[in-house]
Structure 1
Amino acid sequence: MSQDPPRTGLEGAFFEHRERLVRFLAVRGAGEAAEDLVQEVWLKISTSQAGPVAAPLPYLYRVADSLMIDRFRSQRQAAKRDREWTDLSAGTVTGTSDAPSAERVVAARDFVRLVEELLARLEPPRVAEVFRRHRVDGVPQRQVAAEFGVSLSTVESDLRVAYRALTELRERHDEV
């Protein structure tokens, strides 16, 4: 049975302090990847052509720390790339349209027709005009009051009437 020669230098220090390196990486945030990183440390030192190292343990810690930082940066960059890709292609599925279906378009047009009919039935007719001017045109309530020659509280009252009617319409429509 052949016996491996005793390891000295950097390799000897690695095998002597392997568990310390694993704990060092785990404490520094490597978690489950600590064992994998220690294996990478071994690959790095076993394939390098480094000469004698005066302080092998600090050298191993530096190599392990550098590899952990490199892995962290790589994972962070991959996550950023995945997020950007997701943001660019969010909601789109190859071969499908982002446009609403024909059924949704018809249903939306029907609902708009119902809203228009409801607004036309509101009394006084000013209620629908105030609603359109404020909610559709985006005109502030004070300006709407000035345009119609009514008080701000009248505009607020007209909007409450319109909102209540629209809420009731929505509730009836959702039941169907």
Structure 2
Amino acid sequence: MHVASAGIMATGLVASHWTVLGMATGLSAIFLANRAALLRFVRARGAGDDAEDVIQEMWMKLEAKDLGPVADPLPYLYRMANNLMLDRYRSATRRERREQDWAEGAGGVMADPSEDLAVDERMILAQRLREAEKVLRELGPRVELVFRRFRLEGVGQRQIAEDLGVSLTTVEKDLQKAYRAMLALRLRLDTE
């Protein structure tokens, strides 16, 4: 059996995605073949319930980048997983520090950082938000709900799948669809 085929069958979660698009190759195939081990790795690093989300983020980064040949692909994937965990830890630490600083600066009352924005900047941001909401609505109600619950409310993918009565693969595909649409919108807005 081809190594990539074995990897796809082993993961189960994204196999249906590749049956439509074709066979995974290169780093993607190695990722798929080692997905379960990478998931255990990030759980051991403290990801807990967010482990699936970290792996999904890793997959999205792999799919978004046009990577050339990697000399040692498996160690590369483990370094990538470790770096994502470090990024999440640093981001959480910064967020906590920022919230504490805002609370202390406002005399114990959380300050509104949007007050610092000029009126025209707020109008531009509001327009971009409306455009993003429109793009999400056009993707369908389930995709919009999955994206909002995951990205805005911080609900884990597994919990979303259970709440909606769909598979984890469906949630992952919905998120991929939403990310692609948001990326296309961002590219369009950046060129305007």
Which TM-score tier does this pair reach, normalised by the shorter chain? 0.3 to 0.5
How does the TM-score come out when normalised to structure 2? 0.44
Name which one, 1 or 2, has greater alpha-carbon Rg. 1
